[in-house]
Amino acid sequence: MNIMDFLAPRYPLLIVLSGPSGVGKDTVLRRLQARRLPLHFVVTATNRSPRRGEVDGRDYFFISTAQFEKLIAENELLEYSVVYNDYKGVPKQQVRAALASGRDVIMRVDVQGAAKIRALVPEAVLIFLNAESPESLQRRLSARDADTPESLQIRLAAAQREVEQATLFDYLVINREQAVEATVDKIVAIIEAEHCRVKPRRVEL
């Protein structure tokens, strides 16, 4: 090894943010986006129609069911879910293009999706976002007015099962209530530290 090898290209990272339902993943990503780092935020593709105010390419990529099924058939989705007729997934091409431009890529997936990505892209950086306590997670879930007490119980049980998957992940970040900027600071620190690794994680897609 030569001293000059240290100035080798900086390999962009694929960062996966996951965690139980209700933990605050979307808020954290919005605040991270506000920091204007050289970071590509993955936009999910879906076959449903845009709702009022939704913008193609910003909120989702709105594609047809036939286009979506073609992506599945060609193994061109990094991760996807099909619930009845509701298709959602991450096109590999979008991630490849962002990585090729040198930007790190960050995506939000549920815990099942993170396990799939770990298998498909072992070099991904997996961050598990958790609440500071079961009570805090319950408070966050109850704050969603769409939930009935029954659906809240189901969500809580699912969240507990999701927490059991945490050992799959590289990092755990506790998203304390009223401290979302501290959470974002930690994610930024993880990204910075990963870029200093002597053995970089080089993503192949």
Give the residues lining the site for a copy of itself (CB under 8 A): 1-4, 6-7, 127-128, 130-134, 137, 160, 163-164, 166-167, 169-174, 185-186, 188-190, 192-194, 196-199
For the bound state, the minimum distance from the C-beta of residue 195 to a copy of itself, rounded and expressed in Å, comes to 9
Nearer to a copy of itself, 38 or 134 (CB): 134
For the bound state, the minimum distance from the C-beta of residue 157 to a copy of itself, rounded and expressed in Å, comes to 12
The residue ranges of DSSP E strands in 36-189, in sequence order, are 39-41, 45-46, 61-62, 77-83, 86-91, 104-108, 125-130, 171-174
For the bound state, the minimum distance from the C-beta of residue 178 to a copy of itself, rounded and expressed in Å, comes to 17
Cα(83)–Cα(185) distance, integer angstroms: 35
Q: Which two tokens stand for residue 121?
A: 């892209």
For the bound state, the minimum distance from the C-beta of residue 143 to a copy of itself, rounded and expressed in Å, comes to 18
Cα(98)–Cα(12) distance, integer angstroms: 9
Cα(137)–Cα(131) distance, integer angstroms: 6
- Pairing verdict, β 77-83 and 39-41: unpaired
Cα(162)–Cα(23) distance, integer angstroms: 11
Cα(168)–Cα(181) distance, integer angstroms: 25
Cα(93)–Cα(146) distance, integer angstroms: 35
Sheet holding 61-62, edge to edge: 61-62, 45-46, 86-91, 77-83
For the bound state, the minimum distance from the C-beta of residue 176 to a copy of itself, rounded and expressed in Å, comes to 11
Nearer to a copy of itself, 46 or 175 (CB): 175
Nearer to a copy of itself, 36 or 199 (CB): 199
For the bound state, the minimum distance from the C-beta of residue 98 to a copy of itself, rounded and expressed in Å, comes to 22
